[in-house]
Amino acid sequence: MDISNYLYLSVILFTIGALGVLIRRNAIVIFMCIELMLNASNLALVTFSRIHGNLDGQVASFFTMVVAACEVVVGLAIIVTIYRSRRSASVDDASLLKN
Amino acid sequence: MRTSSHLVYLIALPLFSSALLLLLGRIADKWGHLLATLVSASTFGIGVSEFVAMHSHTGANRAATQKLFEWISVGNLKVDASLLLDQLSICFVLLITGVGTLIHIYSIAYMDHDKDRRRFFAYLNFFIAAMLLLVLGDSYLNLYVGWEGVGLASYLLIGFWNQNPVYAVAAKKAFVANRVGDLGLSLAIMISFAQFGTVSFTGVKAGAPHASPAALTAIGAMLLLAAAGKSAQFPLQSWLGDAMAGPTPVSALIHAATMVTAGVYLITRSNFIFDASSTARILVVSVGVITLLFGAIVGTAKDDIKKALAASTMSQIGYMILATGLGPVGYAFAIMHLLTHGFFKAGMFLGAGSVMHGMDDEVNMRKYGGLAKLMPITAVTFGLGYLAILGVPPFAGFYSKDKIIETAFNQGGGKGIILGGAALLGAMITAFYMTRVVVLTFAGARRWKDGSHPHESSVLMWGPMVILALGSVASGFLLSMGSSLVNWLQPVVNASNATGGKELMKPLVVSLLALAVVILGAGYAIVKYRTVPEIAPEQVSVFTKAARKDLYQDVFNNAVLVKPGTILTAGLVATDHNVIDGAVRFVGWVISEVSDVLRKIQNGYVRSYALTMLVGVFIGAVILWVVTA
Amino acid sequence: MNLLTLTIILPLVGVLALAVAPRENTKAIKLIALFTSVITLISSLLMLTKYKFGVSGFQLVTSHSWFKVFNINYAIGIDGLALVLILLTTVLVPIVIVGGWNESENGRWSVKTFYALILILETFMVGEFAATDVFLFYVIFEAMLIPVYFLIGGFGRGDRAAAALKFLLYSLFGGLLMLAAVIGIFVVSLHQGPGSFDVTTLSHLKISHNTQDWLFLGFFIAFAIKAPLFPFHTWLPGAARSATPGTSILVLGVLDKVGTYGMIRFCLTLFPEASKTFAPYIIVLSLFSIIYGAFLAIGQKDLNSLIAFTSISHFGFIILGIFAMTSQGITGATLYMVNHGFSTAALFLVGGWMIQRRKSSQIADFGGLQRITPVMAWCFFIAGMSALALPGLSSFVSEFLVLIGTFTRYPAAAVIGTVGIVLAALYVLILVQRALHGPLQEGNEDIPDLNRREKFAIAPVIIALVFLGFYPKPAIHIIDPMTSQVMAQASMSDPTPLAGK
Amino acid sequence: MLTSPALDYNLLAPILIILGGALLGVLVEGFVGRTYRARIQLVLALASVAVAFGWVVSIRADVSQSAAVDSVSIDGGGLFLQGTILVLAFVALLFFSQNDHFAPQASALPGSAEEAQALSAGVQMTEIYPLVLFAISGMLLFPVAHDLITLFVALEVLSIPLYIITGLARRRRLLSQEAALKYFLLGAYSSAFFLFGAAFLYGFSGSLSLGQIRTAAAAPGANHIFLFLGVLFISVGLLFKVGAVPFHSWTPDVYQGAPTPVTGFMAACTKVAAFGAMFRIFIVAFSSIQNDWRPVFVAISIVTMAGGAIAVIVQRDVKRTLAYSSITHAGFLLAGAIALSKAGLTSMMFYLVAYGFATIGAFGIVTLVRDSTGEVSDIDRWAGLAKKSPGVATAFALFLMSFGGIPLTAGFIAKFSIFTAVYATGNIAILVVGVLSSAIALFFYLRVVLIMFFKEPTDDTVTVAVPSFLVSSGIVICFVATLVLGVYPNLLFNLANTMTTLVP
């Protein structure tokens, strides 16, 4: 099977994520979309490392996972605080700061 | 050409004393007028001594110069503050200082009651200084300084009683009209500099032969414009009538004898320009003719004695301008008429002043009448001046005016006929309105209120009148005896190449003709004004109406200049605020509108922020693609 | 220390002295300020002893490295142009202080602040004219706006804040355009050797036509706004209405001269080709200024804005003379800068006193002053006469030089410009008639005449006007070498007389 | 036999010191009583920053590419930027010392009983200090990182702590939390782009090291689609951090919502780090294809300059105003950065310093202007501030002048040098737009000055809190720096000019 398909898949996943951020309202879901984009990048990295036959890409993907994990921690913390004070996780409700 | 070291005092003395009187203020009230008169007299003394000195020399050495200091020297423009006294300027020096002194004396009494007499005399001295600078400057630029100086003096003196708005306006009008003339003079100076690289009389004279006719005509026209402004010639004549707002001695000195004749001086001084450009000469004679008739006609309808005399001044100067336009031969006659006119017109103005003095400053001649008995001296002196202006032999006017008419005829051809005819016609009308003045004022029944007590003025006032009267009797004869003045001026106006033109008529014929028309005009006036209504009749001919309105000159000026000017000004003021400043404000408005749009885009929704980012990425991708592909 | 530097920093010393002076003792503060300005005047006069007359090029030069990477120096020096303008500045400042003795009283801030600002401004003004380093010039060009901004906004009348802001914005905008041009010419110099901001070095650069045009415009527009030239003038009337008389004198009398100064110093010498290219258009604009300014002056109801518009007309003459590019034109224009400084000073001083006495700046509120306050009226009249360039007063010489210098190259322009002298007569005489003549307006009965201090302030101005009118030679003698140098650098020469003998 | 990779701890020390300080801070949180905590944390933070700075100074001359096995490159430019970050961070930290900026208990509900209780107990969060230190460590790493993974890690290390402290404002907590949310979501979004770009660059070059990427990019006939996608996406992450249009939307909201001292800190320091990284990446990796990507960046810098300047006109909130002005400055800096010349780098570095001081100072002053409910950021209520406290008003005016680039302020020198560098590369368009947008922005700054100096104080007037010693010294430092660098730029500019070495 042609390895470039993995690239196509990663691009598709990234696009889905990028668009998902635009169309979903729930902060959690948006954040999941972002995670999806990160994983798409991971897929791309791994694929490329396969193509180039060196391990840099795979190492990088591990870094990414760790970083993603950190983001999850902080992100959820923030989202939860917002939820607690507003009783809503919709990002559209959080629009006091504008103009 | 010799150098003299005294010329400067002619200007410095009166200038200094006027500055002194102005700076000292009230302290000088006691003796201010005396100092001024003394200074004026002493300038006359200097003038006479210089005149004598000139006689002691011959040829080119008659003219004297004095370099004071280097005034302006930039690039090839070099103008020294230096004076030139030659045969032409000495005539004026004597006239200015002589008549000036007489009028100083006269004013001592005339302005006696005025608490600002000192200021008046300061102005008079200032005028003397400026006028002398005008005639003594050795370059057009020096002349220009005096030129504007006398304008200022005239402005100050016309507006001497400027608490009266009408007088203030009259002063302003005079200054502005003069400025239009000055515009002409300054342009003439610029053209000469561009042409000859110099603005001195000698330099321009030397260069004139090499210049293009067009340039010479341009210079001539501009000089004529200047002359018109200063000498109240058509089309800039309108200010002279209003200028009578000034105290009568001023009218006598500035607006009859001296300043208003500066135009004649300018043209005579620039004879080398006009000799070289026939077109310019045509313009000059046209202006002269138009004005001499214009003034005469206006004069026929004026009831204000001073305005009537002013109109006659305008007309007489018309004669002089006409003469200057008649080529080399004419200059001398122009100057001669200028001098005689200086005597008789000044004399008549002083007479008018003395009448007003006796009549509580009443100026309307219809309220005079039969004053001859009560003011004999005034009446006699005035009468002599009257005979002189009419040109009755052997009085002064006869010599000067007839010469001009004669020369006009001798131009030959249709031109000669027209000019000469116009001059004759002018003489007739002059006879008419002057007779009218005399009759209304001194003859006939008394028409003044019982309240006023006409009386002869003090010796301080009639003394000068007598002297001037003598001048108006004798000056003409003296000046023309052995055509002394002509020969005297010959080096300046080089009338040597003056062909008298082939005589159309014998001089005697011309004189008889002139005398005839004069008698005609005078006779008609005597008949017409046997009885005079105290109030000017309303139902009069259109002709008279026009004349009373100065032939609608002010109406015209208002319609053509003042009104549009006012509208234009208002329009520009609005433009400045709305259009020019408005443009700037508009830019500001646009920016703030855009800013407002941006503000709305910043809508607070995190998802739309993400969208803008994504859009940014796409646009970036597109640009990148366009550039690389 | 170099006398020039001394003259520049002396006012700052005065500022320090002010800083320690007690805030309440306004008399002491004023005296300190006056004393400082007089000392500055003296030191600027001492420069005359060191100055070599009849020599072109900069003198009393000093240069210290300031900003090494860009080869920027604190480089100063004076030639005729700079010298006369510096003298104008140092003469006017004491006059302003004496003349406006009390105008600092009812400001937003303390009297101390007022005089500190005035002295700082003096330093900047002298430094501006002395700067021979384009960057230094630019820096001062912008920096000197700040004290003026606070002088107008803090001590002015009426809608002072808005006026101050408008003034600042116009100038800063022009300044930014100039900054672009300054950078541009520096980069050009970088391409042709070690980069430099020294005006003499820059004047020897070879700059392509296209580049010249753009750089020229950058400088010119900045100066045109400053000058102010139609149509960049709309900031001026507001500023003149709001500023105190003293500030107006410094702004119109000196500050705006920076514009015309720059046109000669930078536009003509650095971009001769571009100057020739644009000269016709600029001359048209300057003619517009002359006529337009005069008409608007006629149309004004407010005394201060009337004076402002007369200045616009006069600046038109100055710029006309500069871009006629004849020796008479440039010398006349430079002389005009000085004379305009004095005549504007006279107008604003006396006008200010009239307004202060009458508590109104509406011309209609005056009238009949000639009778009750003869001295003040006379001073105002003389100022007006110098505004209409009456012969015998200094402005005549300069105006005549400008016109005759223009005529030899652009006759038509000179003719149109000459119309301006008639309009000048109109606006001055209408003003004089309404304000001084006629019957006494009610409300003016008890207006006092000038007191001794005021006479003392106005006297030197009038003396200068008269003296330079009769004997302009000293000034011309200083200016002329500069003119010939500029003409040489622009490779221009006077037209020869048409009718050769 | 295996050889462990050699690390040059001497060169990495600054970063490690800060990290160490952060970890100590965490321990302090755990083990020190509440009474002393705040003070100790502050001292600890300031101390570690100072020490780190000292270390940077000591190694200023060093140049190395193998400090950490080719993934960190120590050189003049990097060290200068690190020094800048540390100095600015130090000054910014001074403003943290006021104890009433941060929520007493981030977890407590706004307006809840426990919050009230915590407030009354005078509790305050001291975790911010370690968090700030962590952020600083990331910032120090960012401009010296030499491969994409290090870059990514550094980016996250500097971002994540900022997300948190953004949400810790003591007052208007809803706004603060919202700001945190927006910052976090958009930040994560942008870093996802960054990572994706990194992946493609890896795919293009087969390596994550900038050096390798350059060689690959310089090589003819390479598959440039990957390269360009990589460049574009990587740039998204960087442009987001510097707040360039159109990746700027978060800036106003976050700057307004975050606690003011934090805003000052991140406005100044983040830009330094991000621009440093950007310049390094582009000159080291992508300089060979600059003609391809420059148009994009010219466009971006133009819209950034103009957009920021225009948008600020109608703003009424001081903090938002400063946010927009920071956007405009990002545009100017970008113009300098993409000049890719020595002059460009020098002027950019000087600009960052000048801008940093002015920004921190300005936000510092915002912390002082208050009413009963806390800081007042509504400009119209600053009317007549000059009457109440001339000093503060003058300082703020000076900072605004510096933003506007009025001569004799550091901002002017910075702008001048940037423009010169840009013009030298022949890019007139940027110069013209730059000049015009400065003019527009100036209009606004001067209006603010006008309000402070020439408007009469209103009735709902504000008071100026008496600043503590640290705070006032912070303002003074910024004031002096802005003035001195403006009057005598040699001091810094010559240094910057000598420290423009960048190892390939």
Q: What pLDDT is recorded for position B140?
A: 93
- Contacts of C244 by beta carbon, 8 Å cutoff, 6+ apart: C100, C103, C104, C151, C155, C156, C157, C352
Percentage of chain D lying above the pLDDT 70 cut: 99
**D357 within domain boundaries:** yes
Percentage of chain B lying above the pLDDT 90 cut: 28
| Lookup: tokens for B516 | 């005839």
H or E element in which residue B74 lies: strand B64-74
Of D186, D246, D295, the CB nearest to B616: D246
CB-based contact D494 C154, cutoff 8 Å: no
Indicate if the pLDDT at residue D412 is higher than 60: yes
Q: What pLDDT is recorded for position B362?
A: 81
Indicate if the pLDDT at residue D280 is higher than 80: yes
Q: What per-residue string of b and e applies to D193-202 under the rule 16 or more CB within 10 Å gives b? A: bbbbbbbbbb
Q: Contact C168/C251 with Cβ under 8 angstroms?
A: no
Q: Contact D175/D254 with Cβ under 8 angstroms?
A: no
CB-based contact A92 B607, cutoff 8 Å: yes
Among B518-522, B559-563, C215-219, which stretch is predicted with the lowest mean pLDDT?
A: B559-563
Kindly report the average pLDDT of chain B as a whole number: 87
What range does the domain containing B605 cover?
Answer: 558-628
| Residue position matching structure tokens 């005065």 | C14
What's the rounded mean pLDDT across residues D185-190?
94
**D3 within domain boundaries:** no
What's the rounded mean pLDDT across residues B376-387?
89
User: D391 to each of B340, D329, D459, D466, D470, how far by Cα in Å?
Assistant: 83, 26, 21, 12, 16
**D216 within domain boundaries:** yes
CB-based contact B145 C392, cutoff 8 Å: yes
- For residue A17, which residues of chain B lie inside 8 Å, CB to CB? none
CB-based contact D454 C146, cutoff 8 Å: no
Chain C (203-232) residues lying within 8 Å, Cβ to Cβ, of chain B: 231
| Lookup: tokens for C434 | 């309404």
φ/ψ (deg, to 5) at C449: -80, 175
Pairwise CA distance, residues C351 & B528, whole Å: 57
What's the rounded mean pLDDT across residues D281-302?
90
Q: What pLDDT is recorded for position B514?
A: 87
Q: What pLDDT is recorded for position B504?
A: 67
> Any idea what the Cα angle at residue C260 is, between residues C259 and C263, rounded to 5°?
90
| Residue position matching structure tokens 């009389």 | B201
Q: What pLDDT is recorded for position B447?
A: 80
Among B79-83, C145-149, D378-382, which stretch is predicted with the lowest mean pLDDT?
A: D378-382
Q: What is the pLDDT of residues D205-261, one digit of tens each?
A: 889 999 999 999 888 776 678 888 899 999 999 999 999 989 999 999 999 999 999
Q: What is the pLDDT of residues B191-233, one digit of tens each?
A: 999 999 999 999 998 888 888 889 999 999 999 999 999 999 9
Indicate if the pLDDT at residue B438 is higher than 70: yes
Q: What pLDDT is recorded for position D417?
A: 93
D–C contact: 3+ Cβ pairs < 8 A: yes
Pairwise CA distance, residues B270 & B247, whole Å: 33
CB-based contact D311 B617, cutoff 8 Å: no
Q: What per-residue string of b and e applies to A84-98 under the rule 16 or more CB within 10 Å gives b? A: ebbeebebeebbebb
What is the ipTM, given to two decimal places?
0.90
Among B382-386, B547-551, D452-456, which stretch is predicted with the lowest mean pLDDT?
A: B547-551
Indicate if the pLDDT at residue B340 is higher than 80: yes
**DSSP-assigned states of every residue in C151-165:** HHHHH--SSHHHHHH
Q: What pLDDT is recorded for position B498?
A: 47
Q: What is the pLDDT of residues B22-68, one digit of tens each?
A: 988 888 888 889 999 999 999 999 999 999 988 888 878 888 899 98
As a whole number of Å, the end-to-end CA separation of chain A is: 52
Q: What pLDDT is recorded for position B502?
A: 64
Cβ neighbours around B477 below 10 Å, total: 15
Pairwise CA distance, residues D54 & B448, whole Å: 112
Q: What pLDDT is recorded for position D67?
A: 79
Pairwise CA distance, residues C499 & B209, whole Å: 9
H or E element in which residue C9 lies: helix C3-20
Q: Using CB atoms, list chains with 3+ pairs below 8 Å to chain B.
A: A, C, D
Q: What pLDDT is recorded for position D234?
A: 93
- For residue D189, which residues of chain B lie inside 8 Å, CB to CB? 610, 613
**Alpha-carbon torsion angle B278, B282, B288, B289, nearest 10:** 140
Q: What pLDDT is recorded for position D258?
A: 93
Task: Report the range out of B279-283, C318-322, D438-442 with the highest average pLDDT.
Answer: C318-322
Interface contacts B/D by beta carbons within 8 Å: 81
What's the rounded mean pLDDT across residues B4-15?
90
**DSSP-assigned states of every residue in D53-115:** HHHHHHTTT--BS-TBTTSB-B-HHHHHHHHHHHHHHHHHHHHHTSTTSB-S-TTSPTT-HHH
Indicate if the pLDDT at residue B496 is higher than 70: no
**D1 within domain boundaries:** no
User: What global pTM score does this model have?
Assistant: 0.92
Indicate if the pLDDT at residue B532 is higher than 70: yes
Of B598, B613, B616, the CB nearest to D310: B598
Kindly report the average pLDDT of chain A as a whole number: 90
CB-based contact B609 D249, cutoff 8 Å: yes
CB-based contact B613 D312, cutoff 8 Å: no
What's the rounded mean pLDDT across residues A48-67?
91
Pairwise CA distance, residues C318 & C229, whole Å: 10
Q: Which of D454, D456, D495 to mutate to test the interface with C (most CBs of C within 10 A)?
A: D454
Q: What is the pLDDT of residues D55-67, one digit of tens each?
A: 999 998 888 887 7
CB-based contact D202 A59, cutoff 8 Å: no
Number of domains in chain B: 1
Task: Report the range out of B403-407, B433-437, D136-140 with the highest average pLDDT.
Answer: D136-140
CA-closest candidate to residue B398, choices B486, B508, B490: B508
Residue D468 contacts C where some CB pair is shorter than 8 Å: no
In Å, how far is A25's CA from the nearest CA of chain B?
8
In Å, how far is B620's CA from the nearest CA of chain D?
6
Q: What residues form DSSP beta bridges with B66?
A: B83
Q: What pLDDT is recorded for position B252?
A: 84
Of D229, D250, D440, the CB nearest to B591: D440
Residue type for position C497: P
Q: Report residue D153's pLDDT band, with 50, 70 and 90 as the boundaries.
A: very high
**D504 within domain boundaries:** no
- Contacts of D434 by beta carbon, 8 Å cutoff, 6+ apart: D305, D331, D332, D335, D415, D418, D419, D422
Indicate if the pLDDT at residue D408 is higher than 50: yes
CB-based contact B604 A95, cutoff 8 Å: yes
What range does the domain containing D181 cover?
Answer: 9-498
Among B239-248, C41-50, D346-355, which stretch is predicted with the lowest mean pLDDT?
A: B239-248
Stretches where chain C sits below pLDDT 50 are 501
CA-closest candidate to residue C256, choices C232, C287, C276: C232
Indicate if the pLDDT at residue B412 is higher than 80: no
Percentage of chain B lying above the pLDDT 70 cut: 98
What's the rounded mean pLDDT across residues A28-41?
94
Q: Using CB atoms, list chains with 3+ pairs below 8 Å to chain C.
A: B, D
Pairwise CA distance, residues C425 & C403, whole Å: 17
Q: What is the pLDDT of residues D157-185, one digit of tens each?
A: 999 999 999 998 888 888 899 999 999 99
Q: What pLDDT is recorded for position D289?
A: 86
Q: What pLDDT is recorded for position B393?
A: 81
Q: Contact B182/B257 with Cβ under 8 angstroms?
A: no
The residue with greater pLDDT, B484 or C112, is C112
**D4 within domain boundaries:** no
CA-closest candidate to residue C377, choices C431, C427, C340, C425: C431
What's the rounded mean pLDDT across residues B599-612?
90
What's the rounded mean pLDDT across residues D99-118?
78
CB-based contact D189 B628, cutoff 8 Å: no
Q: What pLDDT is recorded for position B221?
A: 93
Pairwise CA distance, residues C129 & C149, whole Å: 20
Pairwise CA distance, residues D162 & D164, whole Å: 5
